[in-house]
Amino acid sequence: MNTNLTTILFDLDGTLIDTNELIINSFLHTLDHYYPNQYKREDVLPFIGPTLKETFGSMDQDKMDEMIRTYREFNLTNHDLLVKEYEGVLETIQALKEAGFKIGIVTSKISDVVMKGLKLTKLDPYFEVVVALDHVEKAKPDPGPIFMALEKLNSTPEEAMMVGDNYHDILAGKNAGVKTAGVAWSVKGREHLESYHPDYMLENMRDLLGILGVEKG
């Protein structure tokens, strides 16, 4: 049990809400347009986590902006159809809030789509701070987004934890000097995440309550 923590920061995609199918399908749709029949589902899994600029920029700098627009158009159109919540998330967030924890989101997604996902899964009332891609100069694993969230929440690294499904989240947390928790439901696989040595591994989001000494319900 860690009773020194007051502040919990969460990644969004693949951590709080299940956007994996939306992201995978958005990549496949985009890449099939520019590189027909070259990419399969397993080929796009490594693209989950990095920013779209990193992924598409490494393929073709000249077409990067166009590819991002194609991706986002498909992503927005199909958002509500493909996004769903993870079991145990809503009740955990409610319990943390009731227990007086400061909670925020640090994501590599742009803010308008972040809010769309939070509203769809009824998580939007609980987060005091959202640090999205369009709020920062450098994305995770740079510690800047975490520092920004902590400043807005009036918290220090020593009292904070970063929870995420991707190695970018774990490295960003370590770079910022906060505790880290990986989620075993990561699409990249539990072993991949464990190789980055998070302080905790969650089998279900409810595990956070035990770690933090919060009574359930």
Which residues are identified as catalytic? 11
DSSP tag of 156: -
Say if residues 195 and 171 touch (Cβ distance below 8 Å).
no
Phi, psi of 43 (to 5 degrees): -70, -25
Residue 51 token pair: 């920013």
CA 36 to CA 90: how far, in whole Å? 39
CA 70 to CA 78: how far, in whole Å? 13
Say if residues 189 and 172 touch (Cβ distance below 8 Å).
no
CA atoms within 13 A on the CB side of 131: 23
Could you tell me the CA-to-CA distances from 116 to 80, 89, 110, 136, 155 in Å, in that order? 9, 17, 10, 20, 27
Residue 197 token pair: 């040595």
CA 142 to CA 172: how far, in whole Å? 6
CA 121 to CA 187: how far, in whole Å? 19
